[in-house]
Structure formats: C-alpha cells, structure tokens
Amino acid sequence: MYIIPAIDLRDGKCVRLIQGDYHRQITYHDDPCAQAKDFVSAGAEWLHLVDLDGAKIGHAVNIESIHRIAELGIANIEVGGGIRDEKSIQTILDMGAKRVIIGTKAVSDFGWFTQMAEKFPQKLVLGLDAKGSKVATHGWTQKSPQHLIEFAQSADKLPIAAIIYTDISRDGMLEGPNIDRTKALAEAVKTPVIASGGVRELADIEKLAVLPIEAVIVGRSLYEGTLDLKEAVTTAQKLSVT
C-alpha cells in the first residue's frame, strides 16, 4: 500500500471541504505547486489532484494549476473533478497525468464510461463517493440510487486502473476511515481499490495497510499536522499486504 497526498483545488488554492460541503471550506495553501513539492520531498510518489470547482459545475476550472503541477514532473499524478467528456480526458493525459478519475459521468452514463475505459485502458480510475451505501455525484451534492458495491462490481469488468472509494461522511472529519466498508469493497472486486476519507493519524494507516487495498489518499490530516507524511509512507510500506 502506498500513500497519496491530496491537493484539492478551488479558486487556484489548496483547500479541504468538510464532508464535501462547499460552504465548509478550509484554505491551506495559496500555491499548489509549492504544496506538491513539499509532499514529494516527504516521500510521496503519487499526488491526487481534484478540481473542486470543476466537480461542481461539470467542466475543468483549475486547469492552469493542474498543468503547472504536471509540468514539474516530480511525481505521478491522478486528476479528477468535472471530467465528463473524451476531450477532457485526453487533455489531462496530454498534460502528463498518469490517471484520470471519472465519478459523476461514470455513474450517470455507464455506457459512455465503458467506451472510455476501452479507449483509454488502465488510464481511468472510477471515483465512487458514497453517502452510506449509496453513490453520490456532482461534487457530492447529489445522492444516486446506485449501490456502492454493486456498481463497483459492474465496473470491475472494465480495463480501469483503480477504484477510489470515498466515504463522504468521514471526509475531512479526521475521525478515522470506514474500515468495514473499505474491506468489503476490496474483497468484492479484483480492480485495485484506493481508500479515501477520514484518516487522522498513523494508527489509521496501520489499520488500512493490512487490508487488500492498493493505496490510501490523505488530505486534511497532513495539512493539520495530525499525520506525518514521511512516517506514513514508511509505515505503509512496512505493513502493506499488497
């Protein structure tokens, strides 16, 4: 298991939303590139970039910040938020991103997502953000009737790189990840699973590292200082079962 620091972008700044609520924002850094460099110097090999403005309105907004981080060439990056057409996927990949995260459009138009997965094999990541057992869309502002594990199993047949599972109720709360549901999801599919939401401290990394998951995304705990990235990277490598 490896650690992926999150850089959530809104108005060109690094922020975090509490439980996905756009009215509950914490701003941490005015310079996303500087933040990216800090994370990489602490041992991160991947960076998780999310265009929060794009996720809400349905098209890329913070593309300049994403491009500048990609141009640094210092880490593998995965990008999500408002990517809902083929041109946007190609644009992000052409910038140098290793993976593109598709959430809302995958849930609302699975046929399109299937076509894109086949056109860009092992380049797409399915972003499943859930409120309880149900998938949420449109920057977490809408709840769908899709069941988390059932939808993941449908996507498991596609040539995608990974599935990111985010428990919205835990995201940004620093109350610990949803271990039980993360474990259930990872055991239900063959596609690599990446956990996200709720990590507060090293003990949470230790609990996740023994699950059959590929990675964990961490955000607010790094910005607030409740988790040391270097220590988390070392611990994940030492304890990981995958």
Catalytic residues: 8, 129
Distances from the Cα of 27 to the Cα of 8, 168, 217, angstroms: 10, 19, 18
Residues 163, 193: contact at Cβ < 8 Å? yes
Residues 131, 169: contact at Cβ < 8 Å? yes
**Cβ-based neighbour number of residue 187 at 10 Å:** 11
Distance, CA of 184 to CA of 192 (rounded, Å): 13
Please tell me the total number of residues recorded for the chain in this structure: 242
186 phi and psi angles, rounded to 5 deg = -60, -35
DSSP state of 51: E
The H or E element that residue 25 is part of is strand 25-29
Residues 154, 110: contact at Cβ < 8 Å? yes
Q: Dihedral of the CA atoms 224, 238, 242, 102 (nearest 10)?
A: 20
Cα atoms found within 13 Å of the Cα of residue 92, Cβ hemisphere only: 31
Please report where in the chains the tokens 């190609």 appear, as a residue.
90
